[in-house]
Structure 1
């Protein structure tokens, strides 16, 4: 059987082929030996056309003269469309059940292979995968799988269902797809790997055709670059099924050409040199990995932005390691690979890299680069909570700029200071983070929990929001002042005009800092529960945060206290006359 499929999505796109032309493309693909058709319930010209592509595929199969039983139809559920360009994941069991039942009516039950289209960040993956398993138990689908997953997510999915197929994007210039470990894992475990967008998608196809190595080899063989790429992908692994998405008969003919094209050993070697990530699939790890005791060492220090990596790296630099850091070199994480390659080639055998490296793919690039020079790699993971990292980011900003920067100021500062980043940088890290593991190829994974140094200040304060105070709070505040506490305010004025430097509650003056940024997703460090203004007050007044208290009415104040390591005291308890402290 030819391991080539047809991605049918674009046959139902706006401005795409007519229905008759689309069916002709499907028939040509099938006549060329294609035996897998990939569709989904949400593929259609608009959000109003749910099921359009599935009906098209069903109609094409009904009209085809060949044996329908030889064709595997893949459909997917778990995405919804909410208007132009809005695709939202919905991994609820209820939605997946209804979506699959509707797809089965359009395609005929049982569906050969049914995939979870996308992971729903609002749902546990186990909930969605167990729903797929129940669909299989009911006989609505023969096999189930997942799409667009990380390796840790794939492993988790396999704990709840028999995952027989995985669909991911894979094309020559996309280093991440192979470096994630998903492709190799599927090969080792015998899981069918369906590779969508093998030419990079419609916007990248033309650029791929101009790649010098691909263009030269294709010209020498008298085939298109696209046929050459398909033949090469087929040669990488016996479980890999590329599914290009041609919309015209002219381009669909490349499927038949690729099926017959046998690449020579020299051609494969030239392609592997041009796209070295492929070596992960073609060369066993034992042939790539140097002995753990080999001369030299690359140490990869990783962690969330502002996790404390710089503190850890000083020890290695003092011991003679060459430090490579994106903040110093500029560019992105991948741009450090050629610098590491050059450093190792020049004879530097001890190198330390301190960057975020949240994804397995970003770490693999450095591992394979070091291995090419016979140097083993060790990982040091600075395991810092989001709350601690947020405090670190604000402290660093105050040290460098003397103030907590607003969103526009951060944009300007970030051009020369990569450490001046908005809160979303850390949230993004947490969203995409994959914990490092030994099976990536590390000699060791050294997990170092972040430990905050004791504060240099000794003063203590009660943090309040002036907008939440009432006259009855004057007495409790006066009692705290008598005990040596300062009273400091943190307020929010989203209309954009800051409040006064001090507000008064009776005879008590409360120095106050204000956040003036608008409501909505937080883009600043100063709106509670983020700790920017509190950290500024700690620095300005020489406070010991652990000795401080935060008064408030809600989650924002509770979250601020958690970040500072302070005590949270609900205002209603203060008002009642007996303060109830909440230890965090």
Structure 2
């Protein structure tokens, strides 16, 4: 697989990695199989999709335990990333609050290491910036974890250009993880994507398949599992799903031209936004994993990129 640089670390990872959230949190709550998920994670490593991304929020906590189980005996093959700073209040509704206090982040990181069964993670990310805590304090705490060898590098999630600059002045920002896809293009408009390229920061695209919408398989809420967190989100309401079908139609057109799948076109568009971009589509299905990994080899022509760039703005907010 094509590899891309992780910030200034000197480490390269596969252009397509694996987001593990859906194995334990957020999506289909009845279609989970831990044994299959373990196989998916290990197969991802075989395919070169070695950026394995999790968080203490997912579950909460159980996703890290699952990832730790999968990496037992395979730790050196993975670029292991987790996050802290979001605390779950109600697992049923996914309600969470931010906690960027240094003491919380230190305790959260150490607990993550125990659940993962490792002595360090390659990347530790501030899951969300806490408006009640100065970013300098939160980021300084993560920098201390780097000095102690518990963390190889540190990153931000859903940060503005100003926040990235503030953190980078204290300790290098290796990555910024933000939603980016054909129906979530905010990082292009707000300058975050361009700033990361200029600063040598890796941009990690989460939900690059639009939480499954960009698979092309969702034309109504009935296409989602009965017990699935997406039923609560604005873009998966009936009117929004119907209004956003033109995005899928355009991706289908390009997929037909290339002889590939709609998800592969969607991922190829994300990767085409810059050599500093890495995508972490989530799946617990071995077949979809293979399909996603193969998207790293799909090249879009300038005409096809222009067609995809011109898709209408998505109807409905992300959350």
Which residue of 2 is the match for residue 218 of structure 1? 255
Which residue of 1 is the match for residue 70 of structure 2? 60
Which residue of 2 is the match for residue 17 of structure 1? 32
SS at match of 2:211: coil
Distance apart, 1:21 and its partner CA? 1.3
Q: Distance in 2 between matches of 1:225 and 1:204?
A: 7
Mean Cα deviation higher: 136-145 or 9-18: 9-18
2:182–2:308 CA contact under 8 A, matched in 1 = no
Which residue of 2 is the match for residue 76 of structure 1? 83
| Equivalent residue for 1:6, pick from 18, 23, 26 | 18
Which residue of 1 is the match for residue 149 of structure 2? 139
1:93–1:131 CA contact under 8 A, matched in 2 = yes
For CA contacts below 8 A with separation 6 or more, give which structure has more relative contact order. 2
CA separation of 1:204/1:264 partners in 2, compared to 1, >3 Å: closer, same or farther? closer
The one-character-per-residue Cα deviations of 1:297-340 (angstroms, maximum 9, x if unpaired) are: xxxxxxxxxxxxxxxxxxxxxxxxxxxxxxxxxx99xxxxxxxx
CA separation of 1:81/1:155 partners in 2, compared to 1, >3 Å: closer, same or farther? same
| Equivalent residue for 2:207, pick from 173, 197, 200 | 197
Distance apart, 1:26 and its partner CA? 1.6
Distance apart, 1:82 and its partner CA? 1.3
The one-character-per-residue Cα deviations of 1:122-159 (angstroms, maximum 9, x if unpaired) are: 21111111111111111110101111111111111222
Q: With the length of structure 1 as denominator, give the TM-score of the two structures.
A: 0.44
Which residue of 1 is the match for residue 111 of structure 2? 102
Q: How many residues align?
A: 270
Distance apart, 1:204 and its partner CA? 6.5
Q: Distance in 2 between matches of 1:273 and 1:213?
A: 9
Q: Distance in 2 between matches of 1:129 and 1:39?
A: 19
Superposed, 1:377-392 pairs within 5 Å as: none
Which residue of 2 is the match for residue 185 of structure 1? 195
SS at match of 1:163: coil
Which residue of 2 is the match for residue 86 of structure 1? 95
Distance apart, 1:256 and its partner CA? 2.8
1:209–1:225 CA contact under 8 A, matched in 2 = no
Superposed, 1:115-514 pairs within 5 Å as: 115-202=125-212, 206=218, 211-274=248-311
The one-character-per-residue Cα deviations of 1:8-51 (angstroms, maximum 9, x if unpaired) are: 0001133242111111222232222201011011111xxxxx42
Q: Are residues 1:33 and 2:43 paired?
A: no
The one-character-per-residue Cα deviations of 1:496-544 (angstroms, maximum 9, x if unpaired) are: xxxxxxxxxxxxxxxxxxxxxxxxxxxxxxxxxxxxxxxxxxxxxxxxx
Q: With the length of structure 2 as denominator, give the TM-score of the two structures.
A: 0.79
SS at match of 1:257: helix
The one-character-per-residue Cα deviations of 1:211-251 (angstroms, maximum 9, x if unpaired) are: 22211111232222111111221122011011111121232
Runs ≥4 residues deviating over 6 A:
none
Q: Distance in 2 between matches of 1:203 and 1:16?
A: 18
Which residue of 1 is the match for residue 225 of structure 2? none
SS at match of 1:154: helix
Q: Distance in 1 between matches of 2:250 and 2:257?
A: 11
Distance apart, 1:199 and its partner CA? 1.8
1:7–1:39 CA contact under 8 A, matched in 2 = yes
RMSD (Å) for aligned C-alpha atoms:
2.2
Gaps of 5+ in 2: 4-13, 219-240
